[in-house]
Chain A
């Protein structure tokens, strides 16, 4: 994790999503949309400093991200007025409330839900914000998050590419990711390795160029990756 999250506030997007295996393709789509926009994804999975409490890291991460994207697809409520209190992890509570309470001044957030999923059962109103919908195809989530960032981000910060070009890059990412001899289960890329492939794909296209200078290389060191031999 970067040492100084607060220096990158205007470029960071906090991604708040479930960590189960079924969600992995959607998590990749969310992260890729952020990287393609030239921004820096931050999620609880990036917060691994051993000497700091997880809650503190989360608070740091959320309050130092100008943008946040929240996927509500695993939230379950207990009644019509219950905001999924008992089933939401703490980062959801913090992320949501930080996002909602600062939306009008210093933070921009969006909520994403699958089409078939009825969030109305527990969240009667997300402070007036309409969730953005996606289908079973992760590419629809990628389109939603990229277009959201492109629409609201200033041109000095967010890339401005045709969405189809971003979709093509995402398909390239899948090809290159599958070539990686990863350190995850069954040789799959780990979270860091997968993120590195995203950076490389988008850097090749000049969308994500944080390593363009010596100082940038020092701040964003590349994660070593080994490709499969065949």
Chain B
């Protein structure tokens, strides 16, 4: 957990400072605190140490007061802003807490020179537009907010029953937008936000639009112009942020160039005549779409998982492979990590193989003598037949498999391409073999998808 703040947060208020309160919350949540003041003396530039330590952290917690803090030598920002940007760029979850604008603090708690003051204000304004979790004015308040945010981050609350629909309309479609908002009334379990279409990206910048879209389940875009020439960017922005499934165009009936350009869901309405009936129709379509989204929300394209079959003698290699595959976003079943104490592990292994998409079997002089590895390979081969797709991916740590004159290992060597990890202790060779393995797994998953569609 990287805790970022400026030095006065350590001193004020007495006897228990803001920083001490945040640290207490982090420790109570079971995490380890890291931050600028924990760094030991090093020959590295402090800015480099900051970047490295932030990048290594799992979560970034930022406390922002009224001082910009010391500048990075030769840089254009303070250490604290550098830490924030590094975390943002590294994709680390951000928990940002801001000392409230109306908090009463000593004069020394506020920047006194004009340049720092301006930088501090601009930084606070940018933070406000992004994802500040809360304002605080006392250490107790801060401790509670940090604790709650950490708990929520670890164990996100189940989705509420209510859904949020954003309606984007222009001057000419505002009336229809309001009717539509009324039809999607609170009793249907939908909260509605009504926004001007052409004003959405400006007047607050990118962060503001992103913040507004963050909790939106479905966007209904109501342009008055069928050709949409002036509103392509907004439509692209919304579709890009939410995805095509969660974006719906509501356009006037009649000739349109729109259908030629997109298969985004388009709903055509008659804008002359009874607009209430048309709005009711559009609301029903939106609710149907929300329901359909709920039903397929868990789909994860391109996702696959692996079972690792090996013997204890090769555990060092397997532990490394497991860590690297996990790091690459490929979930693996690895008995050291995944068998719970007290579980009947062989039974669990059989279940585990069936539960994964691919089985990686590590072949070596040791594993070729293992009855368990043999059984796991047989189970994987049976699954290949059942599922009619490639499941078994052998890799080797030595040449022993080629020395076999009969039996399953001989068959494997004759029939399968075997990944070569014989030089796995050499860093470059290991990386190269690992990348090739991951690519082969990926290609196999793509082929599976194609077969399934056929």
Nearest residue in A to B236 (C-beta to C-beta)? Answer: A93
Q: How far is the CA of A99 from the CA of B435 in the complex (A)?
A: 25
> A55's contact among B261, B435, B440, B443, by CB below 8 Å, is which?
B261
Taking a contact as CB atoms under 8 Å apart, the answer to whether A56 and B206 are in contact is no
Asked whether, in the complex, the Cβ of A155 is within 8 Å of the Cβ of B230, the reply is no
Q: Which of B50-91 contact A (CB under 8 A)?
A: 84-85, 88-91
Report if B417 contacts A (CB, 8 A): yes
Asked whether, in the complex, the Cβ of A94 is within 8 Å of the Cβ of B434, the reply is no
> Known: A91-B236, A216-B443. Contact between A160 and B431, CB under 8 A?
yes
In the bound complex, CA of A126 to CA of B126 (Å): 10
- Chain A contacts for B329, CB-based, 8 A: 10, 154
State whether A53 and B263 are in contact (beta carbons under 8 Å apart), knowing that A155-B434, A216-B440 are contacts in the complex.
Answer: yes
Query: Do A95 and B240 have beta carbons less than 8 Å apart?
Result: yes
Contacts of B440 in A (CB 8 A): 212-213, 215-216
A window 40-91: CB within 8 A of B: 52-56, 59, 62-64, 79, 81-83, 85-86, 88-91
- A84 CB to nearest B CB, Å: 8
Residues of A within 8 Å of B447, CB to CB, are 215, 218-219
> B88 and A2: CB pair below 8 A?
no
What's the Cα separation between A216 and B328 when bound, in Å?
20
Check A123 for interface membership: any CB of B closer than 8 A.
yes
Contacts of A56 in B (CB 8 A): 244, 262-264
CB-CB under 8 A for A125 and B126, given A10-B328, A83-B205, A157-B435: yes
Beta-carbon contacts under 8 Å, B396-448 to A: 417, 428, 431-432, 434-440, 442-447
> What are the residues of chain B within 8 A of A228 when measuring CB–CB?
none
Contact among A59, A90, A213 with B243 in the assembled complex (CB-CB below 8 Å): A59
Please encode chain A, from 206 to 230, with 1 for each CB lying within 8 Å of some chain B CB and 0 for all others. 1001101101101100000000000
Is A97 in contact with chain B by the CB < 8 A criterion?
yes
Q: Kindly state whether residue B325 has any CB partner on chain A within 8 Å.
A: yes
> Which chain A residue lies CB-closest to B229?
A86
Residue in B206, B432, B436, B450 whose beta carbon sits within 8 Å of that of A100 in the complex: B206
Chain B CB within 8 A of A8 CB = yes
B233 within 8 A of A: yes
A221 to B234 Cα, complex, angstroms: 37
Smallest CB separation, B382 vs chain A (Å): 22
Is A164 part of the contact surface with B, judged by Cβ < 8 Å? no
Q: Count of chain A residues with Cβ under 8 Å from any Cβ of B? A: 68
Q: Are A38 and B435 also in contact (CB < 8 A) when A97-B238, A156-B327, A219-B443 are?
A: yes
Selecting from A102-110, A138-146, A165-173, A190-198, the interface stretch reads A102-110
A157–B438 touching, CB < 8 Å: yes
Could you say which of B138-146, B207-215, B309-317 contacts chain A? B207-215
Please determine whether B439 and A209 come into contact, CB atoms closer than 8 angstroms: yes
CB distance from B195 to the nearest CB of A (A): 15
CA distance A100 to B435 in the complex (A): 28
Q: Which of A7-57 contact B (CB under 8 A)?
A: 7-11, 38, 52-56
* B91 contact from A10, A11, A108, Cβ within 8 A: A108
Partner of B327, one of A128, A155, A210: A155
A118 at the interface (CB under 8 A from B): no
User: Is the interface on chain B under 10, 10 to 19, 20 to 34, or 35 or more residues?
Assistant: 35 or more
| A116 interface residue per 8 A CB criterion | no
Q: Which of B2-10, B29-37, B174-182, B196-204 has 4 or more CB atoms under 8 Å from chain A? A: B196-204
* B-side contacts of A83, CB under 8 Å: 201-202, 205-206
Question: Which of chain B's residues has its CB closest to A3's CB?
Answer: B450
Whole-angstrom distance between the Cβ of B184 and the nearest chain A Cβ: 23
The winner among B129, B327, B328 for most chain A CB atoms within 10 A is B328
Closest B residue to A94 by beta carbon equals: B240
B238-273: which have CB < 8 Å to A? 238-244, 260-264
Contact B93 A7 (CB under 8 A): no
A residues whose Cβ falls under 8 Å from a Cβ of B: 2-4, 6-11, 38, 52-56, 59, 62-64, 79, 81-83, 85-86, 88-101, 103-105, 108, 123-130, 152, 154-160, 206, 209-210, 212-213, 215-216, 218-219
Q: Apart from A59-B264, A90-B236, list 20 A-B contacts with CB within 8 A.
A: A4-B449, A7-B302, A11-B442, A64-B302, A83-B205, A83-B206, A90-B235, A97-B206, A101-B240, A104-B88, A108-B91, A124-B205, A125-B129, A127-B206, A156-B327, A156-B330, A156-B437, A157-B328, A215-B447, A219-B443
A-B contact pairs, 26 of them (CB 8 A): A4-B446, A4-B449, A4-B450, A8-B446, A53-B262, A55-B261, A59-B243, A59-B264, A63-B244, A64-B301, A86-B230, A97-B237, A97-B240, A101-B210, A101-B213, A101-B214, A103-B88, A103-B91, A125-B205, A127-B130, A129-B89, A154-B324, A156-B327, A209-B439, A212-B440, A219-B446
